[in-house]
Amino acid sequence: MKESNTEGVATHGDPEPCVDDREVSGEALTGARAGRVLSREIRSTRGADAVKQSGRPHAQRRQREELGDPARSETPRTHGTSLRENREISTPPERDGGSGRTGKAVGHTPVVHGMERSDGPIVPTKPPNDARRAEEVVEGRGPTKGNTDEQNVRRTQCRGSTPSALDRVREAARKDKKMKFTALFHHVTLERLRASYYALRRRAAPGTDGVTWAEYGQRLEDNLRDLLDRLHRGAYRGKPTRRVYIPKPGGRQRPLGIASLEDKIVQRAVVEVLNAIYETDFLGFSYGFRPGRSPHQALDALATGVQRRKVNWVLDADIRGFFDAIDHEWMIKFVEHRIADKRIVRLLRKWLKAGILEQGEMTYPEGGTPQGATISPLLANIYLHYVLDLWAQQWRKRHAVGEMIIVRYADDFVVGFQRESDAKRFQNALRARLHAFELELHPDKTRLLRFGRCAAAQRRDRGEGRPETFEFLGFIHICGKSRRGRFLLLRHTSTKRMRAKLKAIGRELMRRRHHPLPAQGAWLARVLRGHLGYYAVPTNIEKLGQFCREVVRLWLRALRRRSQRHRLTWERMKNLAGRWLPRAQILHPWPTIRFDANTRGRSPVR
414 contacts 406 by C-beta, under 8 angstroms: yes
d(CA 16, CA 171): 20
- For residues 288-327, one letter each, b for 16 or more C-beta atoms within 10 angstroms of the residue's C-beta and e for the rest, the string is bebeebebbbbbbbbbbbbbbbebbbbbbbbbbebbebbb
Shared domain check, 89 and 221:
no
Confidence of residue 163 (pLDDT cuts 50, 70, 90): low
Shared domain check, 182 and 309:
no
Shared domain check, 222 and 81:
no
Shared domain check, 216 and 150:
no
pTM value surpassing 0.85: no
Nearest to 408 by CA among 453, 493, 473: 473
Shared domain check, 489 and 505:
no
Q: Is residue 61 part of a domain?
A: yes
Single out the residue in 460, 493, 526 at which a domain terminates. 493
pLDDT above 90 covers a percentage of the chain that reads: 57
Nearest to 162 by CA among 153, 173, 175, 170: 153
Structural domains in the chain (count): 4
Confidence of residue 253 (pLDDT cuts 50, 70, 90): confident
The whole-number average pLDDT for the span 103-129 is: 43
Single out the residue in 493, 514, 540 at which a domain terminates. 493
Shared domain check, 70 and 179:
no
Shared domain check, 454 and 314:
yes
d(CA 559, CA 565): 11
Shared domain check, 239 and 213:
yes
Q: How open is the CA angle 346-349-352, to the nearest 5 degrees?
A: 155
Shared domain check, 498 and 488:
no
DSSP E strands, 259-329: 313-318
Q: Which amino acid is at 9?
A: V
Q: Is residue 605 part of a domain?
A: no
Range of the domain at 413: 290-326+368-493
- pLDDT confidence of residue 348: 95
Q: Is residue 549 part of a domain?
A: yes
Residue 179 parent element (H or E): none
Helix (H, G, I), strand (E, B) or coil at 562: coil
Nearest to 429 by CA among 418, 441, 438: 441
Q: Is residue 7 part of a domain?
A: no
**CATH number where 463 lies:** 3.30.70.270
Q: Is residue 25 part of a domain?
A: no
- For residues 471-480, one letter each, b for 16 or more C-beta atoms within 10 angstroms of the residue's C-beta and e for the rest, the string is bbbbbbbbbe
Q: Is residue 602 part of a domain?
A: no
Single out the residue in 450, 470, 493 at which a domain terminates. 493
Q: Is residue 603 part of a domain?
A: no
Shared domain check, 262 and 309:
no
Indicate whether 433 pLDDT > 70: yes
Strand partners, 246: 254
Shared domain check, 413 and 538:
no
Indicate whether 161 pLDDT > 90: no
What is the per-residue pLDDT across 444-477, written as a single tens digit (0 to 9) for each?
A: 889 999 999 988 888 888 888 889 999 999 999 9
Nearest to 445 by CA among 413, 492, 477: 413
- pLDDT confidence of residue 137: 36
- pLDDT confidence of residue 197: 96
Phi/psi at 11 (5° precision): -110, 115
CA distances, 523 to each of 405, 480, 560 (Å): 41, 36, 18
Shared domain check, 375 and 262:
no
Q: Is residue 440 part of a domain?
A: yes
What is the per-residue pLDDT across 573-602, written as a single tens digit (0 to 9) for each?
A: 999 999 999 999 999 999 999 999 988 756
d(CA 379, CA 411): 12
The whole-number average pLDDT for the span 326-350 is: 95
What is the per-residue pLDDT across 8-60, written as a single tens digit (0 to 9) for each?
A: 333 344 444 444 443 433 333 333 333 433 333 333 334 334 334 444 444 44
- pLDDT confidence of residue 523: 96
